[in-house]
Every structure is written in structure tokens, then in C-alpha cells.
């Protein structure tokens, strides 16, 4: 039995996940918590956010995010992909900045019009 | 230069943007938003992490995305936006003194004013941390601005003081940009931030959290070299002999937010010492008729979604006031009962509550299996169950108008008690 | 070859350089830090003492009273903030009233004007918020508060405006008598000067010992302070002291010229001449003593703590004299309290001492005092309109807490000694002195400096050399 805090929404329900019982989840506040509990113990993923270099915009950096969650273990590599990116203004929310993070099919996308 | 507006909104962060859009929607024609920064969006522009909008948009957005929605919305209204403009004074008669590099000094007359100036961060000096005064000590928000907006790294080896959300978010941010975050140090025996942030900012990156600890010395000639962290006792006094020395070059302080109420004070508006923000009615009006407040300047929020709702209420009321319909009537005081630190609003004119009144409050400790009770003297108006409550998680309840109408006394009390049988 | 080299650019050194720059002399100002007024000058009580404390007959006594008399006019001419608010030395029992009477007598001997001994009621009438157990007080209406670093900077800028050459980042490493002049090695500079004035503050003994036989030792004494939010600025309207002890004048409570309340100092041995660390014990001491005088002082409204180091020696007087063994060498050393108050008189005295050992001082025909440019926040509406007309950057408020505009900062950058660090801007314009302590304006001032000097952001310092703010860029590949 493992205690897991759900991070899907700010409520932060305290889940209990039983690895020995097909990862049954208790303590959830909504259905998303069940999925989260199961996933967190078997294949934890995260959405991560960062910035990339920007030329010609109001600031020198443009905020970006992974369009969907990616395996936690890939976070360092995913971050590394941003080091060589140089965007040029104008940039729109949702613009693809790096098309495919390490074969996941998930892109880095811009989160601000700049 | 003198100009007249129906509504002047001070601040174009999420609060100001929502208030201005709603004021416009509710019929105010000449609406001005004065913003001191070069762009609208407020603090959300530097909050590049996600977690915003789950309530309001039913989507998980980053700060800039959330702000962007309202900036776009504002652009579609006829609201005038003056950027790079500082409001230096306001008076009770609703004159706004502002200044910028193109218009110079302006005296603006407003039918109604909405205060949306947000808050500032508590500093090292405010908590009197002993030691040298080297460079490398930042409030977490100031560091966040450097890192996220302009791409500057503020340090390589970091100790974070305070486990509120800003400190936790920056612990993760600095780590992702290659710094080593040695510890997050928290004075209280519990964290003040959202629990999800403890997981995704500290645990995910193996950053140790030291509860019941504080920084008792900062050492460094021109730049931070070390900090001393000590355990504290139940009175939050450092325990001699418990010192831990960290070699670091950066201290990030996340030790509290203070509503930015200089303008509010200069208009002689009544301030609640528990929130450090204006005392407000159910429609967000302050003690000065026609001057409203919303967002962090009234009380520091945890979720921007709640800011939006509150600010729309303020904007709508400001428009009504400017158009000549003033909200008056009998007042009920709202009292903070057991376990409750403060409530917003602090006063209610129930005649102007439509279906229900949105009421925010905070508890003074971490509690489990409690009941929120809204009382009229000894009789209970309504109650709500909560499994988990914490000071760092603002509570929101809706008190139905029909119940408010039943109140016989001159006040209602919001109180939190253990569940029966719990 | 300079006529005079002044070592140390605090309020004493800058004052001496300014005084010398009135004459047809070539003057070098030699400062180890990257700006003037970086030592004790920027970390003291900011009080212009009336002059009843020093022992009659000492240089301290004479120069305190003289300097205090000169201060108001000097500050008016240089546009440095000064306010004559008067001071009270409180007594809580008869033995302390005896002390008050002794100070009164001393003050009369020293030539202090307007001194009065007040009974309990009169004291409480002047300051209703004081501890009602007060027994009486010494009232000195001539005491004042001032902006000490503002004064030093204005004096230094005047010196430079009138031809003095300022060497910053120039710590003095050696002083050699080379036959009629001195060769001074200071950082990267070799400075030759016929006369030398040692105004090196807590390092004055080290500087003396480079040129002459050691005859005094600086025993650094630390003074810690609380600086409280402006909402506490009206808690008292005079400078409030308690009767002094052997350790010194003790903890005072005073308004500052910026409108804050300053509470302090302690008087504890510093671990070295540059030990400006604030300690938990020091802050507790301040709390105990201050609350004795006025329980309404709210230390939770602290916006900043700091400490300064006094250049104390075993003797209780200034060492303001020609060196006993080094020719053409004058010490302006051991200038601890009332050094700031005495500084205008010390400057004149130092020049006279130089004349006494052979320096010919011919007054210049043209001497211009550097008037600090008026700050936007102090301007009238009319003056603001004019300022804005000349420079629209007066329309951009950079420091919200203190209403400092970009126009103010630009004016400082155009001065004879422009700021090179974020704190340098703070000392000239006030940006960052408010309750948010630079949280809002710091990054903006940082950027302005980077643009003004055309250097990368990473090279701008918070204050002294080495106080870098940024360590590099994000997305630089490998940030560690």
C-alpha cells in the first residue's frame, strides 16, 4: 500500500494505492484520481513547463509547455531539447516549438502570444 | 490633463482584466485600465507553470495562457488600456492621479474605481534574518521574473525559505534550469502551499523539505556563501545546537505576500488588519462608496480562478455605481468564528445578493474532518463538510440568499468545528 | 603629481576633498570601493548631534558643535536632506537625572545653544507617546537628522566638479615617501602626491602604518539597527536617547529624513574592521532598550536591518593632526560618533592643518557646489510639469514605494560621480529604500544600468565589486 498525493487538481486528495491488489485506488475525490493513482505507481508522467529564447519579442524568453504529460524519466532530456531553440516573434499560443519529445509524439508548444 | 471615465481600474493583472471586461459588459462606456508594467497580464506573465483555469475554464492552463484569454477579451471591448502608467494617488472623491511618459501627469475623474493592484512580497528585512547583506538574496517572485521573462539565472546553489507555492514553484524552476536546490526550509510544522506542489516541485526532484526550521544566519561578503538553518521549537524560536550549515550562493524568500494598499490607505479606506486589504461588502465595495477592490489587493488568493469571479463581481458593481445605481441597504457583519482567520467579504448588504453570496475564508491551522457552519447567533444557517482544511488553501462557500433573509441578528458567523462523531 | 591625495571617500574624506577643491590645488581622491560613501558613512544613526556628549576641551567637542552649526546651511546649498527636529535624552530615575544635569553642564561648556532640562510633564508634552515613567529629559533643540550618504556623495561630486580626480576601486597597498612627495600604489593606480590625508575610516590605522610609525589602533565597534516602515515614522517627532552609559550614547529612536523610524545602535566589538553582520542578540538588545523609552515602537514593521562599524580607538577623541613622524601626512582618523556631525568642521580643520605644514592654499575664483538634482517626489506640481517637459522619463515611475522616476535616475547617471551599482542608484535617488526593498524596482534599475553602461546584465553589481546579481542565462546549455 502506497500513499500518493493526487496532483491532478489543486485539491490534492490523499490516495492510497494497493500494488498487490491490481493498483486499486481509495481516497480519491473524483474519477481522475483513480487514473492518476494507478499511473503514478506504474508509469508516472508529468506536464512540464519552461521557456525558450525569443528574438524580436517584448521579452527575451517565450514560455512553453509540453502539450501533454510525458514520462517523468524523460524530463531532463525534454528540457535539453529546448537549449537550442531560437524562436522569432511573432509567436502564437499553441505554436509547436519542438515537434516530438523523444519519440513520445508530444510536442513542446508556446503558451503566450509574443 | 483631466479626463472623465465611468470606471477606472488600477492594475491589468487577472483581477483588473476581469473587472474591466465585466464593467464594460454591464454597460459602463468609458472604462480605463491603468497598468504600471509595459504589458497587461500582471503576475501571471511570469507564472509559466500550469495549474490555472481548472475551475473557470475547466482546462489546465499556464499563467500566460490564462492571462492571455482575458487580454484577448479586453482587446475586443472598448476599454482603454494605458500601459507603463503608474497611479500615484487616489482620493475618496474618486480622483485618480496617474503618470506616464506620453501623457505626463494626469488627473482622472472616475464614476467608480476598481482597486486591483495585487500584492508585494515580504522581504528579508521584514522578518529580520540576521547576518551579512550580500547579493544573492531574492524574493521568490523577483527571481521568477528574472528567470522566466528575461532568461537570467539568479544562482547556482539555492536554499529556499518558505514552502508557500511561490517557493515550491521556484525550487522546481531553478532545478530545471540547472541549479542545485539544496533545501526548502519552512518555519511552520506544515507547508503553506498546495499539496500538489510539494509532490511535483520538491518530491519529484528530491529536494528535502525541512519543516519547523528557519534560516538563522546568512553569511557572505559580497555574495551569499552560506546559510545557517536551525530547527525551531513550538514557539517558533530557534533551538540552539540544531544548526545546519549550507554552502550556497542564493537564498529565495517565499515568506509571505502583502496586499499592495498604499493607494487604498491614501484614500483613507478602512483596512482589515487580518487580510491587510480593504474591508469589503458582498459586491466588493470598500468603505468608500464607489471604490471597489478585487484580487490579491483585498486578500491574497491561492487560485486565480477565484480572483476572476470576485473581480467580475467588483467590475459589475463598479459599472452599476457609475451608472447611478448604488448598492445600499441594511448591513450584516460577517464574523470569523472558531478556527477562522478572516472572511471576505467582511460585511453584507443582503438586499443586493442575488441567488447566493460567495464567501471566502481561511482557517488558522491544518484540520481534518471538520464542518463549516454559518451561524446566526445560536441558530445554524447552513453547513458544509470538509475532510481536509489548511491555512494555505482558501475556502469558498456559497450562502444562499433565502438563508440570509432569515437572519434576525446583525451578524453572521462563519465557524469551523469538528464533525459530529468524528 | 597631485598636491594632495585624500585616502577614503566617506563623509570625512569627501568633505576634506571638497574643501581642498575650493583652492588652487590638484586633489586626488582614493577610494577602495566602486563608489564613494560605502563604509560607515552609509551605516550610522544619521544624527547631527547637538554637542553635549563629548568631553569639553576635546577636538570632538569643538568640532561637533562647529560642524553641527555648519550643517544646515551646507545641506541647503547641496540640496541634501536635513531636518532640525531636536533631541531628548530621557532619564527614568534620579541617578539618570544627575546624568542629564551633567550633560547639560557639559553642553554649556561646549557652547551648545538652546539646551534645557525638562521635567516629566514637559517631556511628555513634547513626546506624548513616551514611557510615562520618564522622570525628565535634556532637550537639545539644535539636534538634527540628515542624509549621511547623500551628504558624502554631494561633497564628493562637488570635489570632482571642481577638478578633483576620483580613483575608485583603488585600495591603497603602499605609501612610499619618495623625496618631497609620496608614491601611492592603489589598486591598478600609481598616484604621486605631495601631501596625504588619511581618512580611511575603520582602516585608518592600516593606512597610517604604511607611511608612519604605528601610534593608534582602530578597535572596531559594531552598531546594529532596525529601520522601520514609514508608517512608524511619526511615532516620535524628536530623536530620543536614553542617558548614556560607558559604552556610548546607547539605543536611540529617531525619525529619518526619508520618513522612516530608525532604532539602534548597539555597541559591541566587531570581529574586524568590515564586520557589518547583524546578529540575533544585537537585535534583541535594541528591542529591550528601545521599548523602554517608547513601548509603541513596533519592531514588526521592520523593513531592513543593518550594521555599521565605528572607528574607535583607546583614546576618546578624534585623531585629527599632522603625523608625528611622516612629513606632509595628516591623519583624519578615529572619526567615530560624533564624526558625521563634526564632518563639515573636520574638513575645514584638516585644510588648516595642511596649511600649517606648508600647503599653500589659494582660493579659486570659480568654485561651484554640486547641488543634488531635485527628486520628482519632492517637486511641486509646477516643477514636475517642467521636469516632464525637459525629460519625459520623469513620467516613468521606477520605484513605486518611493516614487522615484527614470528621470531621477537619468539625472544621477549624468552627475560627476554616476552610480555604477543598483545600490549606488539607491543612495543617490532612493530607489529601493522603501518597504519592498527593491523587489519591484531592483530588476528595472538593474536593466537601466546595463543599458547606460552598455555592459551585460551579469556584470552589474548589487553594491560593491563582487556582489553579482545574476550568474548567467537560462537555456545556456549547461547552467551549472
Domain layout of chain A by residue ranges: 2-43, 49-110
Q: What is the DSSP letter of C372?
A: P
Domain residues for the domain of B398 are 328-422
The distance of Cα B75 from the centroid of its chain, to the nearest Å, equals 25
Based on the domain organization, do B268 and B170 belong to the same domain? no
Cell of B353: 445578493
Q: What is the pLDDT of residue C477?
A: 46
Based on the domain organization, do C17 and C157 belong to the same domain? yes
Based on the domain organization, do B145 and B59 belong to the same domain? no
Based on the domain organization, do C132 and C236 belong to the same domain? yes
Q: Which fold has domain A49-110?
A: CPE0013-like fold (3.10.530)
Whether residue C78 lies inside any domain: the answer is: no
Based on the domain organization, do B180 and B232 belong to the same domain? yes
Last residue of a domain, one of B204, B235, B255: B255
How close does chain A come to C474, measured CA to CA in Å? Answer: 8
Q: What is the pLDDT of residue C478?
A: 42
Based on the domain organization, do C187 and C281 belong to the same domain? no
Integer Cα distance of C325 and C172 in angstroms:
20
pLDDT tens for residues B294-349?
Answer: 999 999 999 999 999 999 999 999 999 999 988 788 899 999 999 999 999 999 99
pLDDT tens for residues A102-113?
Answer: 999 999 999 999
ipTM greater than 0.85: yes
Whether residue C382 lies inside any domain: the answer is: yes
Based on the domain organization, do C212 and C228 belong to the same domain? no
Chains contacting B (3 or more CB pairs within 8 Å): A, C
- C300 touching chain A per CB within 8 A: no
Residue pointed to by grid coordinates 553579482: C468
Q: What is the pLDDT of residue B5?
A: 97
Q: Which residues of A touch B393 (CB under 8 A)?
A: 10
Integer Cα distance of A50 and B174 in angstroms:
10
Based on the domain organization, do C10 and C158 belong to the same domain? yes
Please name the member of C474, C476, C477 whose beta carbon is closest to the beta carbon of A51: C474
Based on the domain organization, do B127 and B248 belong to the same domain? yes
Q: Please say whether the beta carbons of B154 and B181 come within 8 A.
A: no
| Mean pLDDT in residue range B392-421 | 93
Q: Which of B146-155, B315-324, B386-395, C260-269 has the lowest mean pLDDT?
A: B386-395
Which residue is closest to A6 within chain B, CA to CA?
A: B196
CATH label of the domain that carries residue B75: 3.50.50.60
Contact C436 B121 (CB under 8 A): yes
Q: Is the pLDDT of residue B182 over 90?
A: yes
Contact A63 B204 (CB under 8 A): no
What residue ranges of chain C have pLDDT lower than 50?
477-480
Where are the alpha helices (H) located in C47-93, listed in sequence order? Answer: 59-78
Based on the domain organization, do B133 and B209 belong to the same domain? yes
How close does chain B come to A50, measured CA to CA in Å? Answer: 7
Integer Cα distance of C261 and C286 in angstroms:
13
Q: What is the pLDDT of residue C475?
A: 81
C319-328 CB burial, b ≥16 within 10 A, e <16: bbebbeebbb
Whether residue C154 lies inside any domain: the answer is: yes
Contact A63 B302 (CB under 8 A): no
Based on the domain organization, do B76 and B167 belong to the same domain? no
Last residue of a domain, one of B224, B255, B286: B255
Which residue is closest to C475 within chain A, CA to CA?
A: A83
Q: What is the pLDDT of residue C479?
A: 38
Length of chain A: 114
Greater pLDDT, C248 or B157: B157
Q: What is the DSSP letter of B396?
A: E
Helix, strand, or coil here: C357? coil
Other CB atoms within 10 A of residue B255 CB: 24
Q: Which residues of A touch B199 (CB under 8 A)?
A: 5, 7
How close does chain A come to C398, measured CA to CA in Å? Answer: 18
Instruction: Please give the tally of structural domains in chain B.
Output: 3
pLDDT tens for residues B86-138?
Answer: 999 999 999 999 999 999 999 999 999 999 999 999 999 999 999 999 999 99
Based on the domain organization, do C324 and C287 belong to the same domain? no
Based on the domain organization, do B323 and B335 belong to the same domain? no
Based on the domain organization, do C165 and C185 belong to the same domain? yes
Closest Cα partner for C462 from B135, B150, B223, B137?
B135
Q: What is the pLDDT of residue C476?
A: 65
CATH label of the domain that carries residue B412: 2.60.40
The distance of Cα B66 from the centroid of its chain, to the nearest Å, equals 16
Q: Is the pLDDT of residue A69 over 90?
A: yes
To probe the interface with A, which of B55, B165, B195 has the most A CB atoms within 10 Å? Answer: B195
Q: Is the pLDDT of residue B1 over 80?
A: no
Q: Is the pLDDT of residue A62 over 80?
A: yes
Based on the domain organization, do C251 and C129 belong to the same domain? yes
* Catalytically annotated residues of C: 49
Q: What is the pLDDT of residue C480?
A: 36
Integer Cα distance of C263 and B102 in angstroms:
42
Instruction: Please give the tally of structural domains in chain C.
Output: 3
Domain residues for the domain of C302 are 83-145+219-312
Chains contacting A (3 or more CB pairs within 8 Å): B, C
How close does chain B come to A106, measured CA to CA in Å? Answer: 16
Based on the domain organization, do B244 and B127 belong to the same domain? yes
Residue-wise DSSP of C214-273: -----EEEEEEEEEE-GGGTTS-SSEEEEPPBTTBS--EEEE-TTS-EEEE---EE-SST
State the pTM of this model. Answer: 0.95
Residue-wise DSSP of C108-122: HHHT-SS-EEEEHHH
* Percent of chain A predicted with pLDDT > 70: 100
Based on the domain organization, do B87 and B137 belong to the same domain? no
CATH label of the domain that carries residue C187: 3.50.50.60
Amino acid at each position: 500500500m502506497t500513499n500518493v498525493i493526487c496532483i491532478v487538481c489543486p485539491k490534492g486528495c490523499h490516495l492510497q494505492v494497493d500494488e498487490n491488489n491490481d493498483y486499486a485506488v481509495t481516497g480519491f475525490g473524483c474519477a481522475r484520481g483513480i487514473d492518476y493513482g494507478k499511473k503514478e505507481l506504474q508509469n508516472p508522467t508529468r506536464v512540464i513547463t519552461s521557456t525558450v529564447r525569443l528574438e524580436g519579442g517584448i521579452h527575451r524568453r517565450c514560455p512553453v509547455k509540453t502539450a501533454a504529460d510525458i514520462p517523468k524519466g524523460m524530463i531532463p532530456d525534454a528540457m535539453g531539447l529546448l537549449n537550442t531553440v531560437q524562436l522569432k516573434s511573432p509567436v502564437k499560443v499553441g505554436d509547436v516549438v519542438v515537434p516530438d519529445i523523444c519519440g513520445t509524439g508530444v510536442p513542446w508548444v508556446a503558451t503566450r502570444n509574443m | 490633463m483631466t479626463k472623465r471615465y465611468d470606471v477606472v481600474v488600477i492594475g491589468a493583472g487577472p483581477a483588473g482584466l476581469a473587472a474591466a471586461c465585466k464593467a464594460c459588459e454591464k454597460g459602463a462606456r468609458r472604462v480605463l485600465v491603468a497598468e504600471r508594467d509595459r504589458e497587461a497580464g500582471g503576475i501571471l506573465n511570469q507564472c509559466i507553470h500550469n495549474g490555472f483555469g481548472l475551475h473557470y475554464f475547466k482546462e489546465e492552463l499556464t499563467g500566460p495562457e490564462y492571462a492571455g484569454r482575458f487580454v484577448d477579451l479586453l482587446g475586443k471591448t472598448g476599454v482603454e488600456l494605458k500601459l507603463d502608467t503608474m497611479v500615484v494617488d487616489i482620493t475618496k472623491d474618486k480622483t485618480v492621479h496617474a503618470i506616464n511618459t506620453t501623457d505626463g501627469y494626469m488627473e482622472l475623474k472616475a464614476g467608480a474605481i476598481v482597486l486591483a493592484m495585487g500584492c508585494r512580497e515580504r522581504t528579508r528585512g521584514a522578518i529580520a534574518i540576521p547576518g551579512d547583506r550580500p547579493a544573492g538574496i531574492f524574493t521568490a517572485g523577483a527571481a521568477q521574473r528574472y528567470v522566466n521573462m528575461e532568461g537570467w539565472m539568479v544562482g547556482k546553489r539555492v536554499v529556499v525559505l518558505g514552502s508557500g507555492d511561490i517557493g515550491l514553484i521556484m525550487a522546481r524552476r531553478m532545478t530545471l534550469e540547472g541549479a542545485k536546490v539544496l533545501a526548502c526550509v519552512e518555519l511552520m510544522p506544515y507547508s503553506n502551499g498546495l499539496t500538489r506542489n510539494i509532490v511535483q516541485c520538491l518530491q519529484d526532484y528530491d529536494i528535502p523539505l525541512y519543516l519547523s526550521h528557519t534560516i538563522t544566519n546568512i553569511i557572505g561578503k559580497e555574495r551569499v556563501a552560506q546559510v545557517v538553518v536551525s530547527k525551531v521549537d513550538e514557539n517558533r524560536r530557534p533551538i540552539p545546537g540544531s544548526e545546519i550549515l549550507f554552502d550556497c550562493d542564493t537564498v529565495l524568500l517565499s515568506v509571505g505576500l502583502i496586499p499592495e494598499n498604499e493607494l487604498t490607505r491614501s484614500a483613507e479606506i478602512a483596512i482589515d488588519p487580518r487580510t491587510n486589504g480593504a474591508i469589503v461588502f458582498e459586491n466588493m465595495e470598500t468603505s468608500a462608496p464607489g471604490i471597489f477592490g478585487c484580487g490579491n489587493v483585498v486578500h491574497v488568493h491561492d487560485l486565480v480562478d477565484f480572483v476572476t469571479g470576485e473581480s467580475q463581481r467588483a467590475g459589475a458593481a463598479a459599472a452599476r455605481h457609475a451608472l447611478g445605481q448604488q448598492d445600499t441597504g441594511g448591513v450584516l457583519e460577517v464574523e470569523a468564528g472558531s478556527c477562522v482567520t478572516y472572511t471576505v467579504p467582511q460585511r453584507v448588504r443582503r438586499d443586493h445578493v442575488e441567488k447566493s453570496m460567495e464567501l471566502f475564508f481561511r482557517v488558522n491551522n491544518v484540520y481534518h474532518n471538520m464542518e463549516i457552519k454559518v451561524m446566526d447567533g445560536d441558530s445554524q444557517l447552513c453547513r458544509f463538510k470538509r475532510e481536509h482544511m489548511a491555512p494555505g488553501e482558501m475556502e469558498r462557500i456559497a450562502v444562499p440568499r433565502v438563508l440570509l433573509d432569515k437572519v434576525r441578528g446583525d451578524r453572521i458567523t462563519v465557524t469551523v468545528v469538528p464533525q459530529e462523531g468524528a | 603629481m597631485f598636491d594632495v591625495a585624500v585616502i577614503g571617500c566617506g563623509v570625512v574624506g569627501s568633505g576634506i576633498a571638497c574643501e581642498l577643491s575650493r583652492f588652487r590645488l590638484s586633489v586626488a581622491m582614493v577610494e577602495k570601493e566602486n563608489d564613494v560613501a560605502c563604509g560607515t558613512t552609509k551605516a550610522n544613526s544619521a544624527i547631527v548631534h547637538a554637542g553635549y556628549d563629548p568631553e569639553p576641551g576635546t577636538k570632538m567637542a569643538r568640532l561637533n558643535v562647529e560642524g553641527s552649526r555648519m550643517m544646515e546651511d551646507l545641506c541647503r546649498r547641496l540640496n541634501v536632506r536635513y531636518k532640525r527636529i531636536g533631541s531628548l535624552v530621557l532619564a527614568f530615575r534620579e541617578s539618570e537625572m544627575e546624568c542629564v544635569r551633567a550633560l547639560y553642564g557639559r553642553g554649556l561648556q561646549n557652547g551648545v545653544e538652546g539646551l534645557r532640562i525638562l521635567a516629566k510633564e514637559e517631556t511628555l508634552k513634547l513626546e506624548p507617546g513616551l514611557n510615562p515613567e520618564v522622570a525628565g529629559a535634556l532637550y537639545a533643540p539644535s539636534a538634527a537628522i540628515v542624509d549621511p550618504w547623500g551628504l558624502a556623495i554631494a561633497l564628493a561630486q562637488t570635489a570632482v566638479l571642481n577638478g578633483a580626480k576620483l580613483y575608485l576601486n583603488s585600495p591603497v597597498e603602499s605609501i612610499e615617501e619618495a623625496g618631497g612627495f609620496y608614491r601611492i600604489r592603489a589598486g591598478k593606480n600609481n598616484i604621486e602626491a605631495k601631501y596625504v590625508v588619511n581618512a580611511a575610516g575603520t582602516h585608518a590605522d592600516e593606512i597610517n602604518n604604511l607611511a608612519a610609525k604605528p601610534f593608534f589602533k582602530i578597535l572596531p565597534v559594531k552598531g546594529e539597527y532596525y529601520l522601520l516602515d514609514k508608517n512608524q515614522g511619526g511615532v516620535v517627532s524628536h530623536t530620543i536617547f536614553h542617558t548614556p552609559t560607558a559604552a556610548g550614547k546607547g539605543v536611540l529612536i529617531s525619525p529619518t529624513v526619508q520618513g522612516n523610524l530608525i532604532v539602534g545602535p548597539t555597541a559591541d566589538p566587531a570581529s574586524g574592521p568590515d564586520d557589518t553582520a547583524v546578529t540575533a542578540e544585537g537585535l534583541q538588545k535594541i528591542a529591550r532598550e528601545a521599548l523602554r523609552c517608547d513601548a509603541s515602537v513596533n519592531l514588526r514593521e521592520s523593513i531592513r536591518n543593518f550594521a555599521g562599524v565605528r572607528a574607535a580607538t583607546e583614546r576618546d577623541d578624534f585623531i585629527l593632526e599632522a603625523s608625528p613622524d611622516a612629513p606632509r601626512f595628516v591623519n583624519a582618523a578615529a572619526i567615530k560618533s560624533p564624526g558625521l556631525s563634526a564632518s563639515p568642521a573636520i574638513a575645514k580643520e584638516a585644510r588648516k592643518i595642511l596649511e600649517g605644514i606648508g600647503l599653500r592654499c589659494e582660493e579659486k575664483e570659480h568654485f561651484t557646489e554640486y547641488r543634488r538634482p531635485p527628486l520628482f517626489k519632492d517637486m511641486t506640481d509646477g516643477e514636475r510639469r517642467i521636469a516632464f517637459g525637459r525629460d519625459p522619463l520623469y513620467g516613468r515611475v521606477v520605484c513605486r514605494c518611493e516614487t522615484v522616476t527614470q528621470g531621477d535616475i537619468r539625472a544621477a547617471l549624468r552627475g560627476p560621480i554616476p552610480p555604477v551599482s543598483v545600490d549606488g542608484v539607491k543612495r543617490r535617488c532612493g530607489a529601493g529604500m522603501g518597504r519592498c526593498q527593491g523587489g519591484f524596482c531592483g530588476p528595472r534599475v538593474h536593466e537601466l544600468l546595463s543599458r547606460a553602461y552598455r555592459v551585460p546584465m551579469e556584470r552589474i553589481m548589487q553594491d560593491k565589486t563582487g556582489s553579482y546579481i545574476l550568474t548567467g542565462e537560462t537555456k545556456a546549455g549547461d547552467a551549472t
